[in-house]
Amino acid sequence: MNILIKNASILTMAEEAQIMENTNIAIENGKIKSVGFVPEDFKADKTIDGTNKLAMPGLVNAHTHIAMSLFRNYADDLPFWTWLFERIMPREDKLTPEDVYWGSMLSIAEMIRFGVTTFADMYFFMDEVAKAVEESGIRASLSIGLSDSGDQELKIKNTKEFYDNWHGKADGRITVMAGPHAPYSCGPEFLAKVIDVAAEKGMGIHIHLSESKKEIEDSFNLRGKSPIKHVYDLGLFELPTLAAHCVHLSDEDIDILAEKKVSVANNPGSNLKLGNGFARVEDMLKKGINVALGTDGSASNNNLNMFEEINLAALINKGYTGDTTSIPAITAVKMATINGAKALGIDKEVGTIEVGKKADIILLDLNKPHFYPRYNLVASLAYSAQASDVETVIVDGKILMENYELKTIDLEKVMFNAEICAKSLIG
């Protein structure tokens, strides 16, 4: 379907802070054909009136565990290690593929409504997540979460098969990475095996690194070095790596991440809620590290609202550094769009509104009091906008939500089934 978005304000993210007023986007065969003028030979099957709307690239949630929405508001206000090992993991052991499917659909519905067009996920029963991605029309980078307990060979085999079965599938909307959970859940020998299989298949790595103070202390006690230095020595960073969190970093850690061009998924909401502190985002960006934004799972957030993360990134880094110029609005929006695409290795295809790129575009309804007056729309995205302002979502040139109505998901059915699954897990 050829789509014409007419008379919208457009934030392309191709040029920093460039807003084009009262202009058009033509979409043909899933790709952006033009921005600004409409080519004479372009025939639109569908025209979207962009009056009083802002079109921008869809948001990229660069680190999450979407099926954890089933544990939303179940275990809160607890120490990180109690939360993870005593409350969450025992419930996760009871998860079935069906639970993961409905939890994923619930989260995908939430993300589409909040303007997220791509997410990076690491969890169990990932075939179910992949099915949910395929059916819903969203874009995703998927990883089976791996720990070294149980049958390691089987886990490696599953990761290989998952890659063969799903990488490039759903019209190219699904990509696959290897997902060793963390250095504290994957010993060095197992990590080496994961690195080998990822290298063999050409997969990137999605991993949690340096999330809590305890993780750093344990790593020094056990190995005499930081988690970052440990996986660097194992050769993990020779592969394209998406490292979630990276909260507690030494200067040496930052130099390693910069040298090896590791992308970092900063999760300010989750880090605050689990008491893990503040990442050195400003220092990482200054060293040229690609820092993206993520929500983490909605058991530690407790939503998948990337506008909230944009707002948090823009606010808490100012408070943390004492410098009001830290993470200006445009940088926070960049982290949630093109930096996210880069972290997932798909920045040539999505992340900006540019001719030739895939049409992953969201429209915000600006006809609301918190958008007036209109001095600076970029500032409004970081400091005034709400996720509920997203009214239309296009992924791969297909409309997934129009005028606040989901087109590919039966929301009532999804919420009903997710509730049944949550009850069976928690009772």
Q: Which residues sit at the interface with Ni ion, rule CB under 5 A?
A: 296
Q: How far is the CB of 108 from Ni ion (least distance, A)?
A: 17
Q: How far is the CB of 181 from Ni ion (least distance, A)?
A: 8
**Closest CA relative to residue 247, chosen from 218, 210, 275:** 210
Three-state SS string over 139-174 comes to EEEEEEEECCCCCHHHHHHHHHHHHHHHCCCCCCCE
To the nearest 10 degrees (0 to 180), the angle between helices 152-166 and 126-136 is 10
How deeply is 171 buried, as exposed, middle or buried, from its count of CB atoms within 10 A (0-12, 13-18, 19+)?
A: middle
Q: How far is the CB of 245 from Ni ion (least distance, A)?
A: 7
Q: How far is the CB of 321 from Ni ion (least distance, A)?
A: 24
Asked if omega into 373 is within 30° of 0 (cis), the reply is yes
Q: How far is the CB of 120 from Ni ion (least distance, A)?
A: 10
Strands 174-176 and 241-245: unpaired
**Which is closer to Ni ion, CB of 243 or CB of 409?**
243
**Which is closer to Ni ion, CB of 267 or CB of 317?**
267
Q: Closest-CB residue for Ni ion? A: 296
**Which is closer to Ni ion, CB of 62 or CB of 385?**
62
**Which is closer to Ni ion, CB of 81 or CB of 416?**
81
Residue type at 260 in one-letter notation = K
Q: How far is the CB of 382 from Ni ion (least distance, A)?
A: 24
**Which is closer to Ni ion, CB of 282 or CB of 296?**
296
Asked if omega into 158 is within 30° of 0 (cis), the reply is no
Q: What are phi and psi of 139, to 5 degrees?
A: -110, 145
CA distances from 37 to 27, 41, 234 (A): 12, 12, 51
**Which is closer to Ni ion, CB of 99 or CB of 296?**
296
